[in-house]
Amino acid sequence: ELKSKNPALRGGDDQATTQILKTSAPDQVLAYLRKNGNDEVLVILNLSDAQHLKVQILDETIKGKFKSIFSGLTTDFDTKPTIEMYKWEHIVFEK
């Protein structure tokens, strides 16, 4: 549903961009931002078996409040929050 309604996830759209983000755990976490105009989708993937990994997005590109599509909770990335992840967990945020 998110892919069909959010322009940031449109494949083949020249306006949609993907940016790999800098994190505090680059050897364990892949984070990227898909953006198309004002629409943004932030994906954070724990690619390790670390049970309680704490990670921060260090890239200045991420600003403002994003809502988790799974939990519905809002996170303000202006405060550089620490995100706790379980092993192999993925989190998807929408702005």
Ranges of each domain in the chain: 2-94
Question: What pLDDT shows up at residue 7?
Answer: 79
For 2-94, CATH gives 2.60.40.1180
pLDDT-based confidence at residue 3 (cuts at 50, 70, 90) = confident
pLDDT at residue 4 above 80?
no
Q: Half-sphere exposure of 51 toward its Cβ, with a 13 Å CA cutoff?
A: 0
Instruction: Read off the pLDDT of residues 34-90 as tens digits, 9 standing for 90 and up.
Output: 999 999 999 999 999 988 999 999 998 899 999 999 999 999 999 999 999 999 999
Instruction: Read off the pLDDT of residues 17-47 as tens digits, 9 standing for 90 and up.
Output: 999 999 999 999 999 999 999 999 999 999 9
Question: What pLDDT shows up at residue 29?
Answer: 97
